[in-house]
Amino acid sequence: MKFKTFAAFVAPSVVMMLLFIAAPLVSVFLQSFYLTQPVIETVEVETCTPGFLEQTCATALRTRPVLDENGKVQTTTTFVGLQSYRNVLEPARAWDAISGFDYGALMGIDFWRALRFTLTFTFITLPLVILAGLAIALAVNNTAKAFRGQVIFISLLPFIITPVIGALSIRWLFVGDGILTRMIEGWTGEDIAVFAQGWSIELLMLFYRVWHVAPFAFVVFYAGLQGVNRDAVEAAIIDGASRFERLRYVVIPHLMPLIVFIALIHLMDAYRVFEEIIGFRSEAHVISLQYLTYDLLTPDDAGNRSVSRASASAMLTMVGIVILLIPLLRRTWRDHRGAH
Amino acid sequence: MAEIQLRDITKRWGSFFGVKDLNLTIADREFLVLLGPSGCGKTTTMRMIAGLEDATDGDIMIGGQRVNDLDPKDRDIAMVFQSYALYPNMNVYENIRFPLKVRKIPGAEHDERVKRAADMVELGEFMHRKPSELSGGQRQRVALARAIVREPNVFLMDEPLSNLDAKLRVSTRAQIKNLSHELKVTTIYVTHDQIEAMTLADRVVVMERGLVQQVGTPTEIYDHPANTFVASFIGSPAMNLMQGTGTGGVFEGANVRIAGLTGPDGPVTLGFRAEDAAVGGGAEITAPVYTLELLGDATMVTVKAGGALVSVKAPKDFRAEIGDEVAISIPAGICHLFDAQTGARLETA
């Protein structure tokens, strides 16, 4: 294909990516080094209280935002370097907590608390999603053809449900007098409060994410299984390989590019965990990095947003994703080069 | 001892018969070729012997033991596939070693056995290459080495040369023949290529539509085909088959009259091989040339006779124009007679 033709095909996509991905990214990156604050002035305010013969007046110094001619708060933007990152990471507090082996203190810092949950969530759901997807795909692949359609449909249902609705549904099953809570209470004879502890909420979140995403992995793996070299599997059977050895030496290597693909997609997705925090209303117990950014962007009582810290938090989230993806991308690149 | 016996073997899918009532005994160390067109049941037969397909009916005996209910790994067989069926993620060494590894054969033996098998197929220098870095012929040799390394009682080869180009096919065929001679292991070889069958086999089984048409040595199959199917399947070109009528030892059809035969009277199919007849010298067929093909070592002359195109090998310097009248000599002794209805061979007195 001529370069001109290639460019003509690719240009619209490149423009869109520059406009909607690269530009916002650069903007957030720059904003993380600047601090925008309202211009505050200090004024002397005299407060008078009416009295019997004369009023009593007192003066006090007050700060207030400066308004422009349209009545809007004036703001000023200053370059603060890495200050916003320091505000998010709180390195001094974090170091004190780490050097003092004070886990509780470290978890008292929002960023580290969010990072702990985000990493836990990502690394526990990743293998579970891959294993569950692979198990369902193998089961469906071995199901009689007559039932395959129905089994595929049922297996895909969790993926069709909107994430927040799915999370809310699970919450309603377990919250307070939820059906499942009542059932468990009936079996155990004890009062159960699933949403009273962080760990039980985390477990539900992990379960929900695996339940929701495994069907995607299943569909991809099932498609991959259709391409497994039947002769190679039969050769392994004759060579004496057990079912597990055939899976290990023939099927898994064949699916490896798809496993890497699912891992890439899932790492990116899980590291941005957000819906579960909202759906399960877990803010009091666990938060994620994405939620932290959202929280910083939520206006406070005075209507101010911590845009600079939110930008720093977003950039740190992105850096985290990139670090997690590097080994997989290296592998993909190596395979790609090896294929040529 | 690995004599293989197939007793009344049938493979049926619903009402369709893949293989029907197959009875066959393959002697220990025999090289048997299952030959036939696509869908004739040859691969199904091999897969039943391997245990990759269950026989609907009948018994499969290997070394005197009924193996119908044994897993493939327990039948002591090795198989070579048309598509090589190598493990793409493993290098040549690991591919050859795989059967030893999964069968838990002591690791100390692996290296020596793998090297010996690789040397037998001249792969010693490619041990660290992945299958994707090998040519088709080299890949098939890896598959052969993987089969050899376990020293099984039976080799099954499912069209192992079909994916190779013509030149490689000849050299790999020679290598298989040599290996078979060296290893002296019972071998069942499936092919649709009658040249492979003729060159490799101790005996050939010709199959069509799930039924055995003829079992015999390559010479028997070539010289005494059991029916018109075998006659038309074996040989290049295939045997000429003409429709006509036999009357008092004389066969007559369109453009053809052959005397001196000893077959029955009535409608018959007469066959002869292109190299047995000659252009000129007689006039059993007199017809215009339909086409003329220069083969290098001979010239193939084709005419229309007995309701079919009939080819005869002429000397390499023979030349004629299309439409020129030629006379073809067909001695009665080279002729084969077949029943016009059933196609079965008619034994001539």
| 3-state secondary structure at position A292 | helix
- Asked if residues B215 and B204 have their Cβ atoms less than 8 Å apart, the reply is yes
In-domain check, residue B44: yes
Boundary of a domain, candidates B226, B260, B290: B226
Boundary of a domain, candidates B226, B250, B265: B226
Tell me what the mean pLDDT of segment A285-305 comes to. Answer: 88
Tell me what the mean pLDDT of segment A240-245 comes to. Answer: 94
CATH number, residue B126? 3.40.50.300
Instruction: Give B86's contacts in chain A (Cβ within 8 Å).
Output: 232, 235
**Would you tell me which residues 134-163 of chain B have a C-beta closer than 8 angstroms to some C-beta of chain A?**
143, 146, 150
In sequence order, the β-bridge partners of residue A36 are A77
In-domain check, residue B57: yes
What is the predicted ipTM?
Answer: 0.87
pLDDT (0 to 100) of residue A197: 82
In-domain check, residue B232: no
- CA nearest B23: which of B4, B50, B2? B4
Residue B82: closest CA among chain A residues belongs to which residue?
A231
Q: What is the pLDDT of residues B170-195, one digit of tens each?
A: 988 988 988 888 888 999 999 999 99
pLDDT (0 to 100) of residue B243: 93
Please check whether residues B114 and B14 belong to one and the same domain.
yes
A105, burial (CB in 10 Å: exposed 0-12, middle 13-18, buried 19+): middle
Please check whether residues B242 and B205 belong to one and the same domain.
no
Residue B348: pLDDT over 70: no
Q: Quick one: which H or E segment has residue A3?
A: helix A3-17
The type of residue at B137 is: G
Please check whether residues B76 and B131 belong to one and the same domain.
yes
In-domain check, residue B231: no
Domains of chain A (ranges plus CATH)? 113-338 (1.10.3720.10)
Please check whether residues B76 and B157 belong to one and the same domain.
yes
Residue B349: pLDDT over 60: no
A244 touches chain B (CB under 8 A): no
Q: How many domains does chain B have?
A: 2
- Asked if residues B190 and B42 have their Cβ atoms less than 8 Å apart, the reply is yes
Confidence label for A90 from pLDDT (cuts 50, 70 and 90): very high
- Helix spans in A21-162 (H): 23-31, 83-89, 91-99, 103-106, 110-141, 145-160
Separation between Cα atoms, residue A235 and residue B80, nearest integer Å = 8
Q: What is the pLDDT of residues B197-218, one digit of tens each?
A: 999 999 999 999 999 999 999 9
Boundary of a domain, candidates B226, B261, B282: B226
A24-38, A191-205, A317-331, B6-20: the lowest-pLDDT one = A191-205
Tell me what the mean pLDDT of segment A77-89 comes to. Answer: 92
Q: How far is A233 from chain B (nearest CA, A)?
A: 8
Please check whether residues B135 and B264 belong to one and the same domain.
no
Residue B9: pLDDT over 90: yes
pLDDT (0 to 100) of residue A213: 92
Q: What is the pLDDT of residues A254-267, one digit of tens each?
A: 999 999 999 999 99
Would the CB atoms of B88 and A253 count as touching at under 8 Å?
yes
Please check whether residues B142 and B68 belong to one and the same domain.
yes
Separation between Cα atoms, residue B287 and residue B246, nearest integer Å = 20
Please check whether residues B21 and B167 belong to one and the same domain.
yes
Would the CB atoms of A245 and B78 count as touching at under 8 Å?
no
Separation between Cα atoms, residue B237 and residue A55, nearest integer Å = 129
Residues 6+ apart with CB under 8 A from B151: none
Would the CB atoms of B85 and A241 count as touching at under 8 Å?
no
Confidence label for A321 from pLDDT (cuts 50, 70 and 90): very high
Q: What are phi and psi of B242, to 5 degrees?
A: -120, 145
Q: Quick one: which H or E segment has residue B287?
A: strand B285-294
**Stronger pLDDT, A304 or B17, i.e. the higher one:** B17
Q: What is the pLDDT of residues A93-112, one digit of tens each?
A: 999 999 999 999 999 999 99
Please check whether residues B55 and B97 belong to one and the same domain.
yes
Domain that holds residue B41: 4-226
B114 touches chain A (CB under 8 A): no
Separation between Cα atoms, residue B13 and residue B288, nearest integer Å = 49
Please check whether residues B214 and B329 belong to one and the same domain.
no
Residue B85: closest CA among chain A residues belongs to which residue?
A232
Measured at the alpha carbon of residue B201, what is the angle toward residues B196 and B207, in degrees to the nearest 5?
Answer: 75
Instruction: Give B85's contacts in chain A (Cβ within 8 Å).
Output: 229, 231-232, 234-235
Residue B1: pLDDT over 70: no
Please check whether residues B241 and B306 belong to one and the same domain.
yes
A188-202, A302-316, B22-36: the lowest-pLDDT one = A188-202
Separation between Cα atoms, residue B178 and residue B200, nearest integer Å = 10
Please check whether residues B214 and B277 belong to one and the same domain.
no
- Asked if residues A121 and A128 have their Cβ atoms less than 8 Å apart, the reply is no
Please check whether residues B194 and B307 belong to one and the same domain.
no
pLDDT (0 to 100) of residue A181: 86
Q: How far is A326 from chain B (nearest CA, A)?
A: 23
Residue A251: closest CA among chain B residues belongs to which residue?
B87
Tokens 């269950």 locate to B54
